[in-house]
């Protein structure tokens, strides 16, 4: 006569369920046994005692908006006004819809002379056009952020921009480089296909970083690569030898160039997911995508080898490399 196992199976099922729940809790809390979930992808910026949290898309948009201001040599106040505007108009998202024919980060209207529909949805173009209008506002640096923003936008809700001023100031301070190591992103890397080095000595992903930097910041002094590949001058195992790394020089070392270096470094971190960036190093600090990215900027220990100490510490250049595979 067969043994009845129904109750035993039921008890076992309950036990398995309990273990699954416990594993899920441990994964969420990061404690106990069980698989750990990858950290949530997001960016944080802290300045003046205030912290702003962005998703990756918002951070990428903010980086371009501020990067264009840096390229034009505009003050942080200009970037603050632009960010507050984009927060209100699109929540820092490059949207393809809006009121009537409004589009993009700033909800600019082609019918009002801002450009074609394709142009106003290009974050670089849209940011440039916003600043074109802003610098024509008399004494805009002395105006309240919401007043200056409305003089550009002519909004139906002119006081709405004020609600985003605090967050905009934090992001502007970080992304202009005025507050160092202020912006960091948690970016979970995923495997991708290996790439061969191109004719200029960079892989396609590294070349995409170079082109992105030029599009945002204009002319830059860059190196660490050469046609046929770099063979010497870097530590053993360096990504430079694979064509995956670029150095952006901010020489001579000075307060102004250090600020510019931090603007470049934090821009790259904000764009790391989009550009498949693995590492950014500047001024004794390192940021790395993947499992360590939620630790933010960490102390960088330079290699123990002969060479210019300022260069080894990355005081005179920003290093960036992209994922291998």
pLDDT over threshold 60, residue 29: no
pLDDT of residue 208: 98
pLDDT over threshold 50, residue 20: no
Percent of the chain exceeding pLDDT 90 equals 75
pLDDT digits (tens, 9 = 90+) for 117-176: 999 999 999 999 999 999 999 999 999 999 999 999 887 677 889 999 999 999 999 999
pLDDT digits (tens, 9 = 90+) for 44-72: 999 999 999 999 999 999 999 999 999 99
Mean pLDDT of 102-128: 94
What average pLDDT does the structure give for the chain? 89
Mean pLDDT of 256-275: 98
pLDDT digits (tens, 9 = 90+) for 83-100: 999 999 999 999 988 778
pLDDT of residue 268: 98
pLDDT of residue 4: 38
Inter-residue contact 251 to 241 (CB < 8 Å) = no
Q: Tokens in use for 172?
A: 């502007």
pTM of the entire structure?
A: 0.87
The C-alpha atoms of residue 191 and residue 223 are separated, in whole angstroms, by 27
Domain ranges, ordered by start, for the chain: 42-179, 192-322
Place of tokens 């992304």: 175
The C-alpha atoms of residue 176 and residue 260 are separated, in whole angstroms, by 7
pLDDT digits (tens, 9 = 90+) for 72-82: 999 999 999 99
Q: Tokens in use for 109?
A: 């209207």
pLDDT over threshold 50, residue 10: no
| pLDDT band with cut points at 50, 70 and 90 for residue 279 | very high
For the chain, how long is the longest CA-to-CA vector?
A: 96
| pLDDT band with cut points at 50, 70 and 90 for residue 22 | very low
Least confident range of 131-145, 230-244, 245-259: 230-244
CB-count burial class (<10 Å; 0-12, 13-18, 19+) for 239: buried
Peptide bond into 252 cis (omega under 30): yes
């Amino acid at each position: 006569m067969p043994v009845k196992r129904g109750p035993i199976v039921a008890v076992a099922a309950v036990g398995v369920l309990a273990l699954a729940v416990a594993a899920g809790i441990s994964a969420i809390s990061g404690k106990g046994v069980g698989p750990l979930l990858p950290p949530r992808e997001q960016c944080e910026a802290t300045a003046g005692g205030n912290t702003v949290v962005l998703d990756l898309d918002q951070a990428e948009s903010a980086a371009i908006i501020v990067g264009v201001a840096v390229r034009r040599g505009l003050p942080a106040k200009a970037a603050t006004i632009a960010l507050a505007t984009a927060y209100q108009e699109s929540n820092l998202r490059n949207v393809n819809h809006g009121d009537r024919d409004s589009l993009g980060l700033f909800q600019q209207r082609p019918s009002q002379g801002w450009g074609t529909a394709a142009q106003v949805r290009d974050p670089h173009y849209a940011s440039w056009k916003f600043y074109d209008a802003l610098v024509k506002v008399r004494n805009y640096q002395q105006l309240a952020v919401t007043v200056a923003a409305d003089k550009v936008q002519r909004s139906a809700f002119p006081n709405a921009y004020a609600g985003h001023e605090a967050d905009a100031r934090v992001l502007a301070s970080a992304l202009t480089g005025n507050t160092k190591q202020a912006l960091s992103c948690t970016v979970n890397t995923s495997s991708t296909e290996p790439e061969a080095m191109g004719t200029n000595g960079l892989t396609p992903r590294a070349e995409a970083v170079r082109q992105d930097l030029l599009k945002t910041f204009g002319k830059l002094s860059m190196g660490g690569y050469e046609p046929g590949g770099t063979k010497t001058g870097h530590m053993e195992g360096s990504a430079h030898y694979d064509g995956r790394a670029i150095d952006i020089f901010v020489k001579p070392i000075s307060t102004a160039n250090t600020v510019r270096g931090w603007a470049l470094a934090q821009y790259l971190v904000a764009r790391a997911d989009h550009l498949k960036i693995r590492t950014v190093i500047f001024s004794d600090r390192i940021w790395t995508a993947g499992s360590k990215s939620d630790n933010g900027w960490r102390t960088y220990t330079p290699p123990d080898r002969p060479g210019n100490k300022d260069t080894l510490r990355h005081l005179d250049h920003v290093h960036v490399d992209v994922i291998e595979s």
